[in-house]
Amino acid sequence: VDEFDLIDRLIAPLATAPGAQGLGNDGATIAPGPGCELVITKDMMAEDVHFLADDPPDLIARKLLRVNLSDLAAMGARPLGYLLGLSSDGRRDETWFRAFCKGLQQDQEQFDVSLLGGDTIASPKGVLTLSLTAFGEVPVGHSLSRSAVQPDDLVAVTGTIGDAALGLRAIRGELAELDESKRMFLSDRYRLPQPRTVLGPALVGLAHAALDVSDGLIADAGHLASRSRLAVNLDWTRIPLSDAGRTALNRDSGLKSVVLGGGDDYELLFTFAPANLDQVEAVAFECGVTVTVIGTCAIGAGAHVFAPDGQEIGLQEDGWRHKS
């Protein structure tokens, strides 16, 4: 009971939206703005799978929120709020929960969202398991979809690719040949994704299809291809890499499969008509997000990555399965 009261006390100040009703009712209320509908998404995270027991609690909280905000962005939705589910094994103290809630508060301010409600349960035989449902709004019927790729579309991606998967290796003690600042950069990219919450909504009406890169670039390009029944062809040399990522790759070309197959980047992968290229670049500039055209779509099937010599690059390992 003490732990519940503690969590309640720490969580209450996060419920800033009127619809949260001070967390005093059986549920919350939410309505999309005029001409809009809601986009809803739910991602779970469990200890020892999605985070480790000694990870900083504020980063666990912020990653949980951000992976959901990234799903909203991929659908073109502006974030509004979220419900939090927390199943506790009772092995954490007040300091831990205080840091966890501080992380949520920090990101609530950054992304202008409010806690709306949720549930806390005790599960002594389980592990800490988190569930978050995020709510956003998008003009009715205009949410971005994986199945709306058009033949001849250009394919673009935000930010840089592969950092998160390389960061996970750095956290595990690999990539020791990189200097510490590069390893830190990569591990931060794994621990704290940057959901493209401003660009996503700005792509509504401009992009044809979109998703966020959570399963890995090849796997996610494959989702676009299979859902749209077209081929997505990417140029290896155009895939944007960070300095740290490029350095790692220069030292070990075998990491190519990590870059192409690793997940958790939470960048947007989207397609649009070539005629809209200038506008896409202008919108990306306004949003302060780097966008790189990395390929084209065509009649056909599957996602393919080509080397400069025109040879297709095969993946040495599959992107890990990671639902999002």
Please say whether the beta carbons of 92 and 59 come within 8 A.
no
Which secondary-structure segment (H or E) carries 145? Answer: none
Give the x/- contact pattern for its own copies in 223-262, rule: CB under 8 A: ----x-----------------------------------
Query: Which amino acid, residue 35?
Result: G
DSSP track, 208-268: SEEEE-SS-HHHHHHHHHHHHTSEEEEEGGGS---HHHHHHHHH-GGGHHHHHH------E
Site membership for its own copies, residue 126 (CB under 8 A): yes
Please say whether the beta carbons of 72 and 41 come within 8 A.
yes
Q: Which lies closer to its own copies via its Cβ, residue 43 or residue 163? A: 43
User: Which of 11, 17, 28, 283 contacts its own copies by CB under 8 A?
Assistant: 28
Site membership for its own copies, residue 222 (CB under 8 A): no
Q: Which stretch binds its own copies (CB under 8 A): 121-129, 156-164, 279-287, 302-310?
A: 121-129
Q: Which lies closer to its own copies via its Cβ, residue 136 or residue 216? A: 136
* Cα–Cα distance, 184 to 175 (Å, whole number): 11
**Size of interface with its own copies, in residues (CB under 8 A):** 69
Q: Which lies closer to its own copies via its Cβ, residue 175 or residue 220? A: 220
Residue 281 carries which DSSP code?
Answer: H
Beta strand 114-122 pairing with 78-88? parallel
Q: Which lies closer to its own copies via its Cβ, residue 120 or residue 247? A: 120
Matching residue, tokens 């720490």: 10
CB of 51 to its own copies, least distance (A): 11
Site membership for its own copies, residue 324 (CB under 8 A): yes
CA 31 distance to own-chain centroid: 24
Torsion of CA 15, 19, 20, 21, to 10 degrees: 110
Give the x/- contact pattern for its own copies in 129-168, rule: CB under 8 A: x-x-xxxx-x-x--x-xxx---------------------
CB of 8 to its own copies, least distance (A): 9
* Cα–Cα distance, 249 to 106 (Å, whole number): 34
Binding residues (CB under 8 A) for its own copies: these are: 1, 4, 19, 21, 24-32, 36-50, 70-72, 74-75, 77, 83-87, 116-127, 129, 131, 133-136, 138, 140, 143, 145-147, 211-212, 227, 321, 323-324
